[in-house]
Amino acid sequence: MTLQAQRAASLPEQLPELDWIVDPIKVGRLSADFAWFSPVLKAQLAGKRGDIAVRPRSEDEIRQVVAACARAQVPITVRGSGTGNYGQSTPLHGGLVLDLSGYNAFGWARGGVGRAQAGIRLADFDKAARPLGYELRWLPSTFRSASLGGLFGGGFGGAGSITYGPVAAPGNVLGARVMTVEPEPRVLELRDAEAMLLHHTYGTTGIVLELEVALAPAQAWMETVAVFTEFDVALHFANDVAANPALIKKDVCFLGAPSRSTSSPLPMPCRKAATPCFSSSPSAASPACARPWHTMAARSPTARARQKSRQADAP
Ligand SMILES: Cc1cc2nc3c(=O)[nH]c(=O)nc-3n(C[C@H](O)[C@H](O)[C@H](O)COP(=O)(O)OP(=O)(O)OC[C@H]3O[C@@H](n4cnc5c(N)ncnc54)[C@H](O)[C@@H]3O)c2cc1C
């Protein structure tokens, strides 16, 4: 065992109150994200893992473990939900995996702004904000499991970015409560551009404890599918919808033929968000190909009415 691994292994003795994960299989799982999507990263990251993991539940617990690691020179790798796909939460040199999934309280939402602890799942944030009249401005396709801190630390944007831009667009992230990694950790409240200095830095410049973000008005989203027989007509229509600021939308998904080759009736973004979703294909007019889309759109009475009117208007 290396000296560093010995130091990491001694952390639970120093801080017995914390929720430690020492089982090698569990630590291995917490050391991985979706980097295996890439054959290059899969090979490069094989065998990379932390020596130990911890799941703090309060800012004080985070401070205790960060201080202990800084004193013992044990490297820290921050983890939200581990849905990043570039190995951003894989420890390259062992040490501690700081799993923030238990640090996940929703704070508040008012005046178009919301705040929560970094480990909150995006779906849980949205669920808490909706009754207050708000929703998150962007939902990555992993929103059910991905955390707010992880999206800020390693993500880009998602459904909603068509209106509000990526996470990095000015005015989206308004503040961050951050902990420094040193023997006496400091907690800083960074605002606006200063807060953005920690965006996309993969937990290497500090630990994000809380985020304050601008929100969108909550909408009762519905999915809409329009089927075209001419590619160019569909493309222009999709582009017009996407570019029109007067049309409230969460996402636009343009699918070229053969769209029915997908394994499910509609790809995930179309099913999850209120997605004006356009399929363009001469064959889309044939009943066999058109059926899945019509079935999908027929789920709500409004969608059914729209679908009928589109079918009547379709070129
Ligand atoms: C199938 C698939 C689809 C995806 N779709 C999208 C998409 O539409 N849009 C998009 O932007 N991304 C997407 N991603 C990437 C990823 O899911 C998102 O970026 C997600 O928001 C990451 O959140 P997480 O909690 O899983 O972060 P993690 O993977 O746990 O962490 C991401 C990075 O942030 C750091 N980090 C995590 N929490 C903190 C913290 N509190 N303080 C400091 N650093 C921290 C970690 O160290 C790591 O470097 C996708 C990934 C997959 C596998």
Concatenating the DSSP letter of every residue in 254-302 gives EEES-GGGSSSSS-HHHHHTT-EEEEE-GGGGSHHHHHHHHHHHTTSHH
Count: domains in the chain: 3
Tens of pLDDT, residue by residue over 66-86, are 999 999 999 999 999 999 999
Clarify whether residues 122 and 39 are in a common domain. Answer: no
pLDDT in tens, 31-58: 999 999 999 999 999 999 999 999 999 9
Residues 238 and 254 in one domain: yes
What angle, rounded to 10 degrees, do the helices at 287-297 and 301-313 form?
Answer: 140
Question: Tell me: the pLDDT tens digits for 214-234?
Answer: 999 999 988 888 888 888 888
Strand partners, 167: none
Distance 286 CA to ligand 1 centre (A): 40
Domain boundary among 175, 196, 217: 217
Do residue 283 and residue 197 come from a single domain? Answer: no
Task: Among 87-91, 225-229, 302-306, name the most confident range.
Answer: 87-91
Given this model, what pLDDT does residue 225 score?
84
Strand partners, 99: 79
Residue 249, pLDDT > 50, answer yes
Q: What is the DSSP letter of 99?
A: E
Q: Per-residue pLDDT for 294 more than 90? A: no
Q: How far is the CA of 166 from the centre of ligand 1 (A)?
A: 14
Provide the CATH number for the domain around residue 19.
Answer: 3.30.43.10
Ligand 1 center from residue 153 Cα (angstroms):
7
217, 234, 257 - which closes a domain: 217
Q: Which residues span the domain enclosing 159?
A: 104-217
Give the pLDDT confidence score for residue 233 in this predicted structure.
87
Mean residue pLDDT across the chain: 85
Nearest-atom index, ligand 1, CA of 88? 49
Share of residues in the chain with pLDDT > 90 (%): 70
Query: 205 with 237, same domain?
Result: no
Residue 201's domain is classified under what CATH number?
3.30.465.10
Q: Are residues 10 and 63 in the same domain?
A: yes
Q: What is the pTM of this model?
A: 0.85
